[in-house]
C-alpha cells in the first residue's frame, strides 16, 4: 500500500503542480490582458487628444492663412501708398518752385500776395521740413479759388497756421498763412524688416 499511497501522493502532487501552473498561466494571462488593455486604452486616449489638437490647429491654420493673406495685401497697399507719398516729397526743399506754384495760383484766382518769409529747416528722423509764411489779401472768391487750386498740387505740404481777418468796411480779406513743406524723406533708423 505504501506504493499505492506514494503513487496517489505523486499523482495529487502532479495535479497540484498542473493546477498551480494553470493558475499561474491564467493569472499571467489576466495580468497581461489588464496591462495591454490599459496601455491600449491610454494610447487611444492620447490619440484622441492628439487628433483634437491637430483639428484645432488645422482650423486655426486656415484662419491664420486667411489673416496672413489679408495682412499681406494690406501691407502691399500701405507700401504702395508710402511710395506714392515719397514720390510727392522732393529730395531738397525746392521752395522756389513751390512758391512759383503758389504765385501762379494766387494770380489765377485774383489773390494778391504781399510777402513770403522763409523759416528755418527742421531735420527729423524720417524727413526734413521748411516753414514758409505768406501774407496776402483777396475777396472771398479769390481765397476759395486759391485754396482749391492749392489742393491739386502734387507736392506734399500742409497749412500749419492760418488766419483770415474779417474786415469791417470792405470785402477784401487779409490772409496770414504758414505752410510746411516736406522734403528729404528717408526710412526711419532701424526700420528694416530684414
Instruction: Answer whether residue 146 shows pLDDT above 90.
Output: yes
Cell numbers given for 150: 492749392
Cα 144 off chain centre by: 39
pLDDT of residue 32: 74
Least confident of 66-70, 107-111, 118-122: 66-70
CB 143 within 8 A of CB 164: yes
pLDDT winner (highest mean) among 31-35, 51-55, 57-61, 161-165? 161-165
Instruction: Answer whether residue 35 shows pLDDT above 90.
Output: no
Instruction: Answer whether residue 194 shows pLDDT above 50.
Output: no
For residue 159, name the pLDDT band (cuts at 50, 70, 90): very high
CB 113 within 8 A of CB 170: no
What's the whole-number mean pLDDT along residues 160-178?
A: 90
Cβ count near 109 (within 10 Å): 19
Instruction: Answer whether residue 191 shows pLDDT above 60.
Output: no
Cβ count near 144 (within 10 Å): 13
For residue 131, name the pLDDT band (cuts at 50, 70, 90): very high
DSSP H or E stretch at residue 190: none
Place of cell 483639428: 55
The two counts, helices (H) then strands (E), for the chain are: 3, 4
| pTM score | 0.57
Amino acid at each position: 500500500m505504501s506504493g499505492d499511497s506514494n503513487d496517489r501522493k505523486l499523482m495529487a502532487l502532479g495535479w497540484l503542480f498542473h493546477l498551480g501552473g494553470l493558475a499561474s498561466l491564467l493569472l499571467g494571462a489576466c495580468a497581461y490582458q489588464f496591462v495591454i488593455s490599459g496601455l491600449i486604452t491610454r494610447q487611444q486616449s492620447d490619440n484622441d487628444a492628439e487628433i483634437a489638437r491637430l483639428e484645432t490647429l488645422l482650423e486655426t491654420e486656415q484662419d491664420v492663412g486667411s489673416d496672413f493673406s489679408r495682412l499681406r495685401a494690406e501691407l502691399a497697399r500701405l507700401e504702395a501708398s508710402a511710395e506714392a507719398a515719397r514720390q510727392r516729397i522732393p529730395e531738397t526743399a525746392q521752395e522756389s518752385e513751390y512758391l512759383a506754384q503758389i504765385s501762379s495760383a494766387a494770380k489765377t484766382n485774383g489773390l494778391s500776395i504781399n510777402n513770403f518769409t522763409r523759416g528755418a529747416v527742421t531735420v527729423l528722423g524720417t524727413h526734413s521740413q521748411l516753414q514758409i509764411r505768406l501774407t496776402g489779401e483777396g475777396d472771398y472768391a479769390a481765397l476759395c479759388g486759391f485754396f482749391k487750386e492749392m489742393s491739386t498740387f502734387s507736392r506734399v505740404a500742409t497749412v500749419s497756421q492760418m488766419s483770415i481777418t474779417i474786415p469791417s468796411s470792405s470785402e477784401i480779406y487779409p490772409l496770414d498763412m504758414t505752410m510746411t513743406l516736406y522734403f528729404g524723406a528717408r526710412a526711419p533708423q532701424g526700420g528694416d524688416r530684414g
